[in-house]
Chains A and B, each alone.
Chain A
């Protein structure tokens, strides 16, 4: 049946695409180490450790940068 065949190939294609995407993402994370804002990913752990409302944000929204 055409639709079932289409479904099966579509399923395979999506699986392969998502697997490749996931591994590409892993490669990207470990190769670049930093995100688009230039922050090392590991610095983001500090969002939990320094979470008092008066603490300086790890990556402040620009309107608060002046603080």
Chain B
């Protein structure tokens, strides 16, 4: 055999890059359809009443959220782990046949899980818990996929050459542990076939059907401990892992303060887990728990901004790079959106603000300035940075990337501004009353007023999807037609015109 120098092996990273792009398209496309269904309800039955079951909002909505969370984002997390993990630990997947096998198994079982989720959700099989809709057989499969991810992380750490773990690795480990804990506890459920009714019937319902092990308020509390921390450990922690690697690497700048990255890490871990109660303000959850949720949400600004400011200051003295490179633009704007949404979230978690914001479109706006501006931008930037290194070709088109950046930025701005106006309008109208306490408006009054903003939101989403398709095309062309590189670029990713 030829005696070649050791190289990083990106086989598994490439597989997950593919699913990041494909599931991103699927998730965002469904999102855009949903946005237009809300603005123009006729679209709910666009394929005729016979197929309305599969095209209506309620059937498609979990597909959208789960495709972007567990499809696009998780794939992005896996892809970047299999790339960043090797590099900062200075060990190649090629050095371990076992880890390579685990990595591939991880990918293929993930694909099986994704297929099962798509089919079951389209068929309307759901536990009805938000972001935890999967029935128990799929939950078990997901646990297996997650354990394989853990084996990959700790296996690679076990054979590392670099003794210390880079800050991103800490964040990936936290992602693994956090999601494992959250997922297991929130999905505690009992298959109904094991239950016996009061009348003595057994084997109730379909074999795959289950009910939550928690009831009533407890179920809500566990659900939102999970739901909010899915945001923490799916949309924040691993994305911070990415920016701590990709921004310094792409810009060639050392992290502004490594110490700040460490204390932000522990601050985030300490505070985030307690903030979920803010989803249940003014509910039957004990009042002290609601207050705790509010307070921890506000405190959460500190560690979140610690990381975000650390990233912006990493660009200190190098701001010309932001102007010159669309890739840096994605990351710097991503970090800015992170600051923005981690300020907005705590504001919404304050009880008096929540009295207006709760159940309104402002919450949807908040989620989307976070996921479109921060998560989406950062994952795309990560893939753009990885592409020349894993395919050994320069990025196909810089101008296409720059155009994509501006189209998507406009999309995000239209999305969250329309939802701000819609949400606050909604909140104010719902609570408006006359001097005798009679409600001033009925629900349909708000729907009528909100229509234009829903249409604007749809356009914003469509722009973002358009940009994502440009991203997919750019990555595809990089892979197939980009100019070949003689050697790996150290920092700034090479881009064709």
Smallest beta-carbon distance B261→chain A, Å: 9
Give the residues from 228 to 253 in chain B that come closer than 8 angstroms, CB to CB, to chain A: 244-245, 248-249, 252
Given contacts A44-B258, A46-B254, contact A29 B163 (CB under 8 A): no
Smallest beta-carbon distance B479→chain A, Å: 22
Among the 9-residue stretches B67-75, B164-172, B412-420, B450-458, the one with 4 or more Cβ atoms under 8 Å from chain A is B164-172
- Complex CA–CA separation, A47 to B254 (angstroms): 9
Smallest beta-carbon distance B373→chain A, Å: 23
A57–B249 CB distance below 8 A: no
A residues at B contact (CB < 8 Å): 8, 18, 22, 25-26, 29-30, 33, 35, 37, 39, 41-49, 51-55, 57-62, 64
A47–B263 CB distance below 8 A: no
Given contacts A60-B161, A64-B161, contact A41 B262 (CB under 8 A): yes
The answer to the question of B160 belonging to the interface, with a C-beta cut-off of 8 Å to chain A, is yes
The answer to the question of B431 belonging to the interface, with a C-beta cut-off of 8 Å to chain A, is no
Contacts across chains A and B counted by CB atoms under 8 Å:
85
Total interface residues on B, using CB and 8 Å? 34
Can you list 12 A-B contacts (CB < 8 A)? Answer: A18-B270, A25-B266, A29-B259, A41-B258, A41-B262, A49-B249, A51-B249, A53-B7, A59-B162, A59-B163, A60-B162, A61-B161
A57–B90 CB distance below 8 A: yes
Smallest beta-carbon distance B203→chain A, Å: 38
Which chain B residue has the least Cβ–Cβ distance from A55?
B90
Smallest beta-carbon distance B99→chain A, Å: 15
The answer to the question of B8 belonging to the interface, with a C-beta cut-off of 8 Å to chain A, is yes
Chain B residues whose C-beta falls within 8 Å of the C-beta of A44 in the assembled complex: 164, 166-167, 258
A42–B162 CB distance below 8 A: no
Give the residues from 53 to 87 in chain B that come closer than 8 angstroms, CB to CB, to chain A: 87
The answer to the question of B105 belonging to the interface, with a C-beta cut-off of 8 Å to chain A, is no
Contact with B488, one of A41, A45, A52 (Cβ below 8 angstroms): A52
Chain A residues whose C-beta falls within 8 Å of the C-beta of B255 in the assembled complex: 42, 45, 48
Smallest beta-carbon distance B189→chain A, Å: 26
